Structure 1
Amino acid sequence: MSPHSALPPPERAGKREWTALAVLALPAMLISLDNTVLHLAVPHLSASIDPSGLQLLWIVDIYSFLIAGLLIIAGTLGDRVGRRRLLLIGAAGFGLASLLTAFSNSAEMLIVSRALLGIAGATLMPSSMSLIRNMFADPRQRSVAFSVWIACFLVGGAIGPMVGGAMLEHFWWGSVFLLSVPAMVLLLIVGPLLLPEYRDPNPGRIDPTSVLLLVVSLLATVYGLKVLAGDGVAVLPVALLLAGLTLAVVFASRQRRLTHPLLEPGLFRERTFAVSLGAMALALFVMSGSQFFVAQYLQMVVGLSPLETGLSSLPGSVGGVMGALLAPVALRWLRSAYVMTLGLTIAFAGFAVLTQVETENGLIPVMIALGLLNFGVAPTIALGTDMMIASAPPEKAGAVSAISETCHELGLGMGIAILGSVGTAVYRAEVSDTLPAGLPDDAASRVQDTIGSAVYEADRLPGELGTAVLDAARVAFTDGLFYVSVICTVITLLTVVMVAVLLRRVPAGDGPDGPDGAAGRPGPHEALETADPRTPAHHRPATAPEDRAR
């Protein structure tokens, strides 16, 4: 008889837990929306507070830099002080920072307020994900819960351009940052009533050196990736990237020697955890890298306006939401690995369609490709997150959730930086060979820089010369998109094989405690995890006698 057969089945979540999920999902959607609307607001805030180029860079990037650098610290802190407590502290901070951002009257004030938003935002995501892991003990329900949460995050990014555009037409630029305030107020009111409190009963002390190594390594890595993606290869971003990776190696080595590591090295030796993490990173890598080029293709090659580009991207947004929501439904008949494999196969087909895009026929194939690849990638993100968190001990859910979110940030950043560099290199090589004769040297240099510069220069040049420059740039950029799409197709195929082979025996919700969702069942160590005598009985872990008698 299996050692797990004597365990009672995991308790199923009720109305209270599903209502709490809605409370957690709303901030996730608004955080995603908040990051999207900033790009729309940049022209308006530039006209209002007149930031310098360097200040504008920090206004745009400081939020994501601090989130990426502090996620793991926040997740580990939540395991120690309590995930609900940290979530509510973060919600209060995010709401206040949103108000400060909305009413900023100088570039310096806006940079500081965006930094505060990043610090608060880093506490919200891992706290939400780890609470979901604890509220939904049943593996099937937990898969649905994570899928709903991921879908809401995707919806925020999808509706951001439309909501932000509408607000910017009627209100001042700061109004877009007020969208999250009501959600944070709601979370502060109902959170204490609906959300349980969980913490690690034996957290150990925090090692300050590990904290410093982790934050500096992540900030240097993310900054290097972003500068490489935006400005191309240069000494400073490459040096920062290498320094960040070196410090990450030092950090990992230190964790193996500590009694109470900030990040448990043993997690990465668990196959489900490691493969799920790798699959998510690769899926986000190819998705972000390809869509970085697709957005430029639609505007610079096809000639769509920003609003038309946003509308043309709707099939991709809808596909992503549908993929996330249908993934747990498919678990009724298939294991998680099979659903992820099927989804990635559909994404493979989407990238294959993207390789067929040409200069003249691009709009419809791009819309089809975006729908397929987003639909196919979403199950890997939703189910991979679930499998990864379920594979770890429950008392480490906060740290594991933070690792998942950090993986998202780095996967997205590396996709844009690496694939963006490949596509840009192809563009520059192709366009330099096809530029028309008689083009001034300074104009030729700008045309070879980016397709955006090429479109600008083409508008300034007379008649046929401008048309020839524009045609050459569009063909070269389409060639760059082709090579990026081929790389994405190959990586997706390899990811399909990796998931199909290495996760084929892992059922939904499986973890280190055994098959068939045993990891979703609380063990002896989880019975102590609440460690808060003020927590009501109906909020305690499922092993508590009050819960089993309910």
Structure 2
Amino acid sequence: MSTVDSVPDSARSAVPADPRRWVGLAVLCASLLIVVMDMTILNVAIPAIDADLHPSSVELLWIVDVYSLVVAGFLVVAGGLADRFGRRRMLIIGYVAFGAIPLLVIVADSPVALIALRALLGLGGALIMPSTMSMIRNLFTDARERAVALGIWGAMAAVGAGVGPIVGGALLEVFTWHAAFLFNTPVMIVAIVASLLFLPESYGAKVRWDALGVVLSIVGMAGVVYAIKAFGKYGIADPTALTATVIGVGCLVWFARRCLNRPEPLLDIRLLRSRELTAGLLCALVTSVAIAAMMLLIAQWMQLVEGYTPLEAGLHLLPSAIVSGILSPLAPRIADWIGARTVMAGGLFVGGLGFALLYVIPRPWTYPPVAIALVLVGAGMASLAIGSAVIMSSAPAERAGNAAVMEETSFEVGNTLGVAVLGSIAAVMFARLVAPIDLDALGVSRADAEAARESIGGAITVADDLGPAGAELADAARAAFTDALATVGLVGAALMIATAVIVWWMTPRGMSVEGH
């Protein structure tokens, strides 16, 4: 166990600050930047992947979503390994995995192979993510400095979300979609060297290994997310989805009871008794839901409806990242003025207004009002920086690793649910809006008709194959997709505004980023 981690909060000011802390923060922020970029870099590559591998709508969602799902499932395991064997050591192992696994994309020639590759990448991401926040807690013993550091860390999440599509778009201008994966390898080599030079090793509280708990957490989250996807595609009566729900929820309940009944749990769920920590986790979860869905669906709208190139789509997604990147480091100072509760709840509310704008702007959409929606969602994402500071300040120092795992789990599950829930809503609405089109009259075969109703990418491909006769189908598909996104805007707005009210209620009035 590291010296800093074992010191109570009341005595932490007596621990000398690590002189490498700001350089170490830069390395950790770069780690987060790459991991978040890997979540969003694929967004602009989806149309190219769709055209090349012809995945079904569910396979397409799994290609995007399985990475976050695996990261979320293995975070508990990774956090325990990092506490036991060293956070820097696990971080570097994660870097190695993140750099080596993408090379397998060279032989990935089917949707299933690509899903498997993304799942393996998730293992590397799981080793990287929890170490970043717990090491920030270790590096920054002063609560105010830590809040600033976490604000910068949060800004990197926003920058990564914005830069990912641009990098992906630039690569796709020159190379095939495979380059979106191969980009990781040279960057990870630099990250390994920087970590060895600038990051000190640290350890957390060691607990007895719980193999059954690990299995329960992974199976539980996988079952629940699969059920959400299946419900979206096949309806609420689908037996497979119902079975997955029972298995997933059952495993998660069993996992929670097991953690509550063990003196040294793999994940200390008792931390959720803290209202402010729970409010911070809720903020992280819903903010991640919003940004994941927004970046994925709007990127597709820009390319498949507006006709932007991948690079143009990435550049047009920048407003969200720019605003969040500016506001996130300033969030602690703003919280000093108006309170952490106001910043967290207010950020969620502003993000909800961004989603609501998608519903109210007239169709067909043009870019300027969509850009305003992106700005509002980006401003809302800045509240994640305060949520992170509240989470880390609310947890005892010896449980910093558990708090970090909880936040990263919320972040990853939020990304997963954002794609699964809001992505499924968009897919269902698109299918319903396209259904009335008489595809037989256009000369579309039965197999192509199913593809046209699966996704907008499939509809555009079928329309292109029809030649001039496909113009009607293409126009109808683009209008249907825009209307489907408007419905997603309404659902997203309701979710974020409702969460803002709950976070306001749960967070104590006097709560600050220093935990008092």
The TM-score, its normalising length taken from structure 1, stands at: 0.78
Are 1:215 and 2:218 counterparts? yes
Aligned to 2:297: 293
- Give 2:164's aligned residue: 160
Which of these residues, 351, 356, 367, is aligned with residue 371 of structure 2?
A: 367
**Which residues of structure 1 form unaligned runs of 5+?**
516-550
Q: Answer with 475-484 or 138-147: which moved more.
A: 475-484
Query: In structure 2, how many angstroms separate the alpha carbons of the residues matched to 1:11 and 1:420?
Result: 47
Residue 133 of structure 2 aligns with which residue? 129
Candidates 211, 226, 251, aligned match of 2:255: 251
The answer for the alignment partner of 1:454 in structure 2 is 459
SS class of match (2:382)? helix
Amino acid in structure 1 at the alignment position of 2:211 = P
1:546 aligned partner: none
Output aligned runs, 1:7-406, within 5 Å.
9=13, 13=17, 15-37=19-41, 63-97=67-101, 100-101=103-104, 116-167=120-171, 177=181, 179-181=183-185, 183-192=187-196, 194-201=198-205, 203-225=206-228, 235-376=239-380, 378-406=381-409
Give SS of 2:195's match. helix
8 Å CA contact 1:199–1:395 kept in 2: the answer is no
What's the secondary structure of 1:397's corresponding residue?
Answer: helix
> So what's the TM-score if we normalise by structure 2?
0.83
CA offset at residue 448 of structure 1?
A: 3.9
Residue 193 of structure 1 deviates from its aligned partner by 5.0
Measured after TM superposition, the shift of residue 335 of structure 1 is 1.9
How far 1:112 moved relative to its partner?
A: 7.4
**Matched AA of 1:451:** I
Q: 1:297-339: CA deviations, max 9, x gaps?
A: 3334334333332222121222232232331232342322222
Q: Tell me whether 352-361 or 138-147 shows the greater mean CA deviation.
A: 352-361
Task: Indicate the structure (1 or 2) with the bigger Cα radius of gyration.
Answer: 1
The answer to whether the 8 Å contact 2:331/2:343 transfers is: yes
Match of residue 542 from structure 1: none
Partner Cα distance (1:5, 1:184) in 2: 34
Q: Which moved more, 1:246-255 or 1:449-458?
A: 449-458
Distance 1:271 1:28, change over 3 A: same
State the alpha-carbon separation in 1 of the partners of residues 82 and 127 from structure 2. Answer: 8
CA RMSD of aligned residues (A): 3.9
- 2:3 corresponds to which residue? none
Partner Cα separation in structure 2 for residue 245 and residue 216 of structure 1: 9
Report the Cα offset of residue 191 of structure 1: 3.3
Match of 1:427 in 2: 430
Please report how far the alpha carbon of residue 457 of structure 1 lies from its aligned counterpart in structure 2 after TM superposition.
Answer: 3.9
Aligned-partner residue type, residue 323 of structure 1? L
**Cα deviation, residue 409, structure 1:** 1.9
Distance 1:503 1:400 in 2: 17
Report the CA distance between 1:257 and its aligned residue: 1.8
Instruction: Describe the SS at the equivalent of 2:348.
Output: helix
| 1:428-452 CA distance string (max 9 Å, x none) | 3344456699456847655444333
Aligned twin of 1:507: 511
Aligned pairs, number? 504
Q: How many Å separate the matches in 2 of 1:56 and 1:389?
A: 35
Distance 2:463 2:108 in 1: 37
Partner of 1:411 in structure 2? Answer: 414
Is the alpha carbon distance of 1:39 and 1:481 closer, same or farther for their aligned partners in structure 2, counting shifts above 3 Å? closer
Q: Compared with structure 1, are the counterparts of its residues 118 and 412 closer, same or farther at alpha carbon in structure 2 (3 Å cutoff)?
A: closer
Question: Counterpart amino acid of 1:69?
Answer: G
The percent identity for this pair of structures is 35
Q: Is the 8 A contact 2:45 2:177 kept in 1?
A: yes
Structure 1 residue 124: deviation in Å?
1.0
- Cα distance in 1 for partners of 2:495, 2:144 equals 29
Amino acid corresponding to residue 476 of structure 1 in structure 2? A
The answer to which of 296-305 and 244-253 deviates more is 296-305
Q: Is the 8 A contact 1:281 1:411 kept in 2?
A: yes
Amino acid at match of 2:213: S
Residues 349 and 372 in structure 1, CA contact (< 8 A), matched pair in contact too: yes
For 1:422 and 1:55, the matched residues in 2 are separated by 15
